[in-house]
Amino acid sequence: MISKFLNATTLVFLAIVALVVFWIGSGMFGREPETPPQRAERALPSVAASASQASEVTTELTLYGDVEPTQIATVRARVEGVVEEVVSQGTVVAAGDVLARLSTDDRQARAARAQAQLTTAEQAAANARQLFERGVGPETNVQTTMAELEAARAELRAIELEIANTQVVAPIAGVVNRVIADLGAYVSPGGEVLEIVDNDPLLAVITVQQGDIARVRSGMPARVSFIGGDTRDGRVSFVSPIAEAATRTFRVEVEVANPDESLPSGISAEVVIPIETVSAHYISPALARLDTEGLMGVYVVDDADRIQFAPMEIVNADAGGIWITGIEDGARLVTISQGGLQPGEVVAVRETPAEYLRGEAGLDASAPVDAASSGGNGDEEAR
């Protein structure tokens, strides 16, 4: 029965199948297993950094305010009368100068009558005293005539003072800013005649916030820049002992000498008050970063070439950069980087190119440069 199926054709087919199986098996077992390709080692991020040297810098409080005169005096008439003379607007006057004259009217006649009454009273008092000394006159008569004499003297002094007050004099030195009562105008006692403005010295008035007022004291030097470009030195002359209720700010006055009164009051001014001197680093604002907590700082490289985030505080600024504290003197400040950096990340560090520090920062190539003062973009691709 078996021999019936084992014919020549079947045997040939089985031989072919066996040969194929053997060939495939020999190929699998004769070849060593393939190993997966190894992942290429990740290149370290490249950054440029330079040692930042600290310098002494003075922290300043910069505020804006208005310029006020030292004093504004409204000159008033002490007696009534018609304005017969008055100085013109813009006249420079000294304290005690006559600014205007009022009509005397009947005051001269009243003065003459008072003088005559005084003479009569003096004679009557002298006669009464002589009679009393001779024993023929009562003492009460002496007392009466003496009282009348004092009354006559008071009357004469009063009219003489009234005549003197027809001259309106300057209570302060300054410039006549406004003539209120013109020639021919009638003024009553207390009526306004003119206004004097004293612009020497000037007062630059600023308002200081609660957080800064403890650092401002009377006598501190200040620098005042007026609209128009004029800058002068001054000093803090007044610090309000109480805050404004509405704004919680303090009024501070800075006195500026103005002997020739070339500067007017009423203009705006920038006031810079030096506060203290600290050790700080000068860097480009482009190097500032924010961490995950919103703190502002810069990236530095430690001794193990790891990135560290250093929180900073800005103490001063100018058109070219900012002065900061928060990093050590000589710290390697990252100036150029590729993409984002993470604290603790190991990087490949190279020195910041000189042309980057000088050329891109717009500095003179012959001048010494603080490596942290680069004005370039901190995320610029390293070249």
Would you state the pLDDT for residue 296?
A: 92
Provide the pLDDT confidence category of residue 340 given band limits of 50, 70 and 90.
confident
Q: For 297-307, write each residue's pLDDT tens digit.
A: 999 999 999 99
Q: How many residues does the chain have?
A: 383
Would you state the pLDDT for residue 276?
A: 85
Mean pLDDT of the 169-186 span:
92
Longest dimension (CA), the chain: 200
Q: Return d(Cα 267, Cα 33) in angstroms, integer.
A: 90
Mean pLDDT of the 323-346 span:
88
Strand 55-76 and strand 192-208: pairing? antiparallel
Mean pLDDT of the 345-353 span:
88
Provide the pLDDT confidence category of residue 354 given band limits of 50, 70 and 90.
confident
Terminal CA-CA length for the chain: 88
The CA-based dihedral angle spanning residues 174, 180, 186, 187, taken in that order and rounded to the nearest 10 degrees: -60
Average pLDDT of every residue of the chain = 83
Would you state the pLDDT for residue 254?
A: 96
Q: For 267-285, write each residue's pLDDT tens digit.
A: 999 999 998 888 999 998 8
Sheet strands (E) in 137-288: 167-169, 174-179, 186-187, 192-208, 221-226, 231-239, 250-256, 268-283
Count of beta carbons in the 10 Å neighbourhood of residue 78: 18
- Sequence-separated (6 or more) residues with CB below 8 Å from residue 22: none
CATH code 2.30.110.10 for 47-54+279-373: no
Mean pLDDT of the 28-52 span:
68
Q: Is the pTM of this model over 0.85?
A: no
Of 1.10.10.60, 2.40.30.170, 1.10.3720.10, 1.20.1090.10, which CATH number belongs to 63-69+197-277?
A: 2.40.30.170
Residue 210 has pLDDT above 60, yes or no: yes
Q: Please tell me which residue, 10 or 230, carries the higher pLDDT value.
A: 230
Q: Residue ranges per domain, the chain? A: 47-54+279-373, 63-69+197-277, 104-165
